[in-house]
Structure 1
Amino acid sequence: MDRPLAPPPPETVVAPAPLPPGAINAHVHLVGDDFQLQDKAVERPAPGTLDAWLTRFRAHQAQIGCSRAVIVHSILYGGDNTVTLEAARRYGPGTPAVVLIRDNATEAQIAALADAGAKAVRLNYVHGGLLSWEGMVRLAPMLAAHGLHVEMLAHSHLHLTELAPQVPDLPVDIVFDHCAWPDRSLGVTDGQRALERLLADGHAWCKLSAAYRYDPEPQALFSRLIAANPERLLWGSDWPHLMLGDAVMPDTGAELRKLQSVLDDATAQRIFVDNPTRLYRLPS
């Protein structure tokens, strides 16, 4: 299959304001051409071994002032989580991984992933994936038993009105990636309000990540989510910006400054350090 080649991630040019010590970049992907893409992968990452990409990533972290990270498995590699688990292992002890599983995953498979460093599984309603909502609900007790939560990529305006009422009864934490990827043209939708209620009631988490994909000026959106519950939010750079589609390759420093413009010091400490430390059960 002839797949388009993704552009390499740029260096950060705009310096963000200093992040709190111990800041965690809670949403990144690691890749490497020494690992096999799935047959249906829609693109090829820019060339480089995993070690070469880890060198690039460490430079990215240094540029933005982050010392820790959460590595999220990319659908480009399908259900083989090897590249992500290996990246987490090589990046540093205790680096959490977010992995993909199928609806028919067994408890033994889930236990093995947890033992290998996985702290969550991903459910993707935007790009498609291996796990369905119904499958996740069935597997949720097993995930909870092994200390895993669920990170979901969904569109608030398309999915949250239907799904939000089910979230409080789940035995696992649900994290909505990328601010639940709203459609900016629709304004504040019922799905957006449903997300805010879940946050306010302590029934969900949300990553203030990848705004460059859906809102060039996300400050108002960030402010609404912070007002809902600053103790349920975290941030990630979405590096190296795979599967860009129509989005423009971002400067992470400039993106960070948009978020920092609506934060006070106490809220910054929660979003960049305290909340991800609690969610992923990391040493403080």
Structure 2
Amino acid sequence: MDLHTLRNFLAVAQEGGISAAADVLRISQPALSRQMRDLEKELDTTLFIRGNRSRMTELTAEGMVFQRRAREIVELADRAYAEMHQGDTIEGTVHIAAAQTVAMRTVGRAAGRVRTRHPGITFDLYDGYGPDNTERLANGLADFAILVQPVDMSRFDYLPLPEHDVAGVLMPEDDPLTRYDAISADMLRNLPLFIAKGSAQRHDFAGWLPADAQSAPNIVGTMNLAYNVSCFVKEGCGYALGLAGLVDASEGSGLAFRPLEPPSYTNLCIAWRSGRTLTAASQAFLDELRNVIAQE
């Protein structure tokens, strides 16, 4: 198994078949088909569900697992090559994994300032939630991760961020609950709620939401991106228990946001892996972020 084979496998998975992938890769179909069979033999597993004429139309469960790891290996190899050839100029890509949070304003301010000094620095933003971001940071796919506390930080160095996300409820702007300045747990009884996946896994609202079965909230869905769930809320599909400032909830937007009562906040930090030497671009960004935080 080599990088060339992994790249070809990813092309077949993305294009949905040997024929389409061979056209993209500009190699013969028989050669690519043989390479995929050899890969399956080497792994001792079936990666593709084959249709007519051995056309590979979708991945098996094992194929989906291997696709994820193959993508990570190729991405790390590409990053290693880029870092070895960056020269004396401070340039390169800073990879940041982050949940949606208003703290990204501070991160973005530092990014803008460091690019003024070093225009060759670019940024790759990965939108994910807690465990996904932590995994990307641990395996080297992210240089930094914006993490919601509490989380095990034993493997990471970190810098607290000054912002605190305010938790609340997103609702249609004509909803009866908008007449209240804040929302208590009792007000949400039996109402259909969407909750962020990260919050659900961390049990962020365990102390705020009722614990008894009769008063337990009606969780009808989870979400990663605030904009997507805001469309559901606007169409009357439910309410979203989340954070302020992630979508437009101003007058005329079709949405309204009310904070929780009693108040609930999230603490955030930016983390990087302990014992790992940062690239020149990542170090320049971190230095600038420290300056931005010190000035706030």
Q: What is the TM-score with the length of structure 2 in the denominator?
A: 0.24
Indicate the structure (1 or 2) with the bigger Cα radius of gyration: 2
Question: 1 or 2, which has the higher strand percentage?
Answer: 2
TM-score normalised by the chain length of structure 1: 0.24
